[in-house]
Amino acid sequence: MSLKPYKIFRSNRKTVFIGFNQYGDLIVKAPKSLPVSKIYDLIERHKDALNKKRKDVLSSRLRSKKHLFQEGEEFWFLGRNLKLKFVDDVDLFSTRRGISTTEKNLLLPERYRNFAKKEIEKFYRKEAKKFFTSRVHFYIVKYFEVFGERLNYTNLKISSGQRTVGSCSPKNSLSFSWRLIQAPIQIIDYVVAHEIVHIKEKHHQKAFWDKVRMLDPDYKRNLKWLKENWFYLREFLIYD
């Protein structure tokens, strides 16, 4: 199969990245000075591996699960596989219920049955903001305890990001995708620690990764899990 770049991004980077977006389109990130002919040479040289990767991306997309919002359907939340359960709109004390979770269930009041997707997304966003804020505060304190330096961030935003799980802007504004709330806590902690270190280290060189390791000794395992599973998490409620 002939492969042509869907888009080539130019920047001051020193290396070339060749990969695929969620639709199987070939994406290239290259130095500004690298000739287009060199990019095509690299693609041709690695075409067999790239074609295999593209097939994996497309097959993974086909496996992405659409939700029908029916009783017993499974939803991931903080690494737990919860089954959807519809409950009465009020509890035993006549208090109006909101969406909540137990160890095994995602509890959805009956009044939300016909627009479950919208309400579940609102619930996930709210819980993500609350949980990520608490973990950011935890790692700000931990950074001070380990490195003796107090860090400050300007803002914490919850995004709908699919390509990026988290980011730290040049002005130290932190952003996290609400879909990350599906992941196990240790994965979320890795992402938070990663972005906290970026407040001080605006790069991915050795000094950066050394600090990440000090905050999260299992960061390599957590990063591997994220690379293998983010495809599925980022599709959540997109096509439902």
Q: 57 in a domain, yes or no?
A: yes
Q: 69 in a domain, yes or no?
A: no
The number of folded domains in the chain is: 3
- Shared domain for 179 and 200, answered yes or no, is yes
Q: Which residues pair with 155 in a beta bridge?
A: 173
- Shared domain for 138 and 228, answered yes or no, is yes
- Shared domain for 16 and 101, answered yes or no, is no
- Shared domain for 93 and 170, answered yes or no, is no
Q: How high is the pLDDT of residue 36?
A: 95
- Shared domain for 83 and 18, answered yes or no, is no
Q: 112 in a domain, yes or no?
A: yes
| Ordered mean pLDDT values, 10 residues apiece, the chain (240 residues) | 84 93 85 95 92 78 73 95 94 82 96 95 97 98 98 96 91 97 97 98 97 97 90 77
Q: Report how far residue 30's alpha carbon sits from residue 39's, in angstroms, rounded to the nearest whole number.
A: 8
Burial 104-123 (b: 16+ CB within 10 A, else e): ebbbbbeebeeebeebbbeb
- Shared domain for 171 and 132, answered yes or no, is yes
- Shared domain for 155 and 210, answered yes or no, is yes
- Shared domain for 104 and 18, answered yes or no, is no
Q: How high is the pLDDT of residue 65?
A: 64
The last residue of a domain, from among 39, 63, 87: 63
Q: How high is the pLDDT of residue 147?
A: 98
Q: How high is the pLDDT of residue 102?
A: 95
- Shared domain for 139 and 160, answered yes or no, is yes
Q: Report how far residue 141's alpha carbon sits from residue 136's, in angstroms, rounded to the nearest whole number.
A: 9
Q: How high is the pLDDT of residue 60?
A: 65
Q: 239 in a domain, yes or no?
A: no
- Shared domain for 226 and 155, answered yes or no, is yes
Q: How high is the pLDDT of residue 239?
A: 58
Q: How high is the pLDDT of residue 66?
A: 77
Q: Which residue segment(s) compose the domain that 205 sits in? A: 122-234
Q: 20 in a domain, yes or no?
A: yes
Contacts 24+ apart (CB under 8 A), 95-101: 98/123, 99/123, 101/77
Q: How high is the pLDDT of residue 229?
A: 85
